[in-house]
Amino acid sequence: MTSIWTQTELEAQITLWKQAYTHCAAGKSFTIAGRNLTRQDIGVIRDQLRYLEKELAKYTGAQAGMIFVAGVIPRA
């Protein structure tokens, strides 16, 4: 299988989308390619991370489902 992405591009995109997840989970917004993402877009962000993970697996031979997204939610 091939991908339209290079491995380096995929890793950069995953980093960016993980940042979006962390910001949105903490109640902040995040902008990617002119699109403003908020907490309500967490599902969209997860879907994008799954897609990128599957594309990266084409290079690494790893099984999809291994990316862990973590964030810190501040106490009230």
Q: Would residue 38 count as lying in a domain?
A: yes
The predicted model scores a pTM of 0.73
Would 1 be classed as within a structural domain?
no
Higher pLDDT, 73 or 20: 20
What's the confidence (pLDDT) of residue 72? 59
- Mapping DSSP to helix (H, G, I), strand (E, B) and coil, where does residue 34 land? coil
Task: Provide the pLDDT for residue 3.
Answer: 83
With respect to residue 19, please indicate whether it lies within any of the assigned structural domains. Answer: yes
In a domain, 76, yes or no: no
Check if the beta carbon of residue 7 is closer than 8 Å to that of residue 56. Answer: yes
Q: Smallest Cα–Cα separation from 16: which of 38, 48, 57, 56?
A: 48
User: What is the rounded average pLDDT of the residues 6-21?
Assistant: 95
Cβ–Cβ under 8 Å, residues 30 and 37: yes
Residue-wise pLDDT tens digits, 20-63: 999 999 999 999 989 999 999 999 999 999 999 999 998 888 66
